[in-house]
Amino acid sequence: MSATELIGTREDRGCLSTDRGTVVNGKDEEFTAFVAARQGALLRYAYLLTGNRAQAEDLLQTTLVKVYLAYDRISDRGSLEAYTKAALVRNNVSWWRRASRREVVTDELPERVGSDQHDIDERDELWRLLSLLGPRQRAVLVLRFYEDLPEAAIAETLGCTVGTVKSQLHRGLAHLRTHMAADAALGKA
């Protein structure tokens, strides 16, 4: 059996030949345009969830592969970014549920590009404080304050109860307040 018989012709698979000789699928063009337009924002979102640039890149790549495979089933293309963000959260949750996967704590935060040193220092301090939280508390705080989701939507996204979201939110904020107060006391001494 030939390869053409196995996979069909390019036209059978919905591909088009261009004048440059490349083969392009309409689905591929749409998805590529979406990724090109939203990759930076999605990477920042993944970084907020993981707290680590390398893990954020891995999470985003894994998620984009899954979204691409499900692309034909997504009827509302306008909600593609929301779908992708929900998939990022679900994939992140499944990563930290695995026993073999552990957070890697580093002494240094990734380098950042920016012009205002004060903003950079505040942002670095926020990342340092967020890295002290467990992955579930960090995910709840990111979804609540970065994505501005209500508690019910967070519970649905994480696959837990609203009570769990409330307790994780309360504990995470209390943990941040404790560390901020300790840092302030050390800074005044």
Return the CATH number at 158.
1.10.10.10
- Output the six-digit token pair for 84: 């992708």
Say which CATH number the domain at 32 has. Answer: 1.10.1740
Please indicate, yes or no, whether residues 69 and 130 belong to a single structural domain of this protein: no
Whether the pTM exceeds 0.75: the reply is: no
DSSP letters, 96-139, are HHSTT------SSPPP---S-HHHHHHHHHHHHHHHTS-HHHHH
In a domain, 50, yes or no: yes
Same domain, residue pair 83 and 137: no
The residue out of 49, 71, 99 marking a domain boundary is 99
Question: Measuring CA to CA, which residue among 50, 46, 139, 38 is closest to residue 79?
Answer: 38
Q: Is residue 20 part of a domain?
A: yes
Quick one: DSSP state of residue 4?
H
pLDDT tens by residue, 17-48: 444 444 456 678 888 999 999 999 999 999 98
90 and 35 assigned to the same domain: yes
Tens-digit pLDDT profile for residues 95-125? 766 645 555 667 777 665 555 565 677 777 8
Ramachandran class of 46: left when φ > 0, alpha when ψ lies in -120 to 50, beta otherwise: alpha
Fill in the DSSP letter of residue 146. Answer: I
Please say if the pLDDT value at position 7 is more than 50: no
Do residues 27 and 95 share a domain?
yes
Domain co-membership, 148 together with 86:
no
On whether residue 5 sits in a domain, the answer given is no
- Please give the share of the chain, as a percent, with pLDDT higher than 90: 33
Domain with 82 in it:
15-99
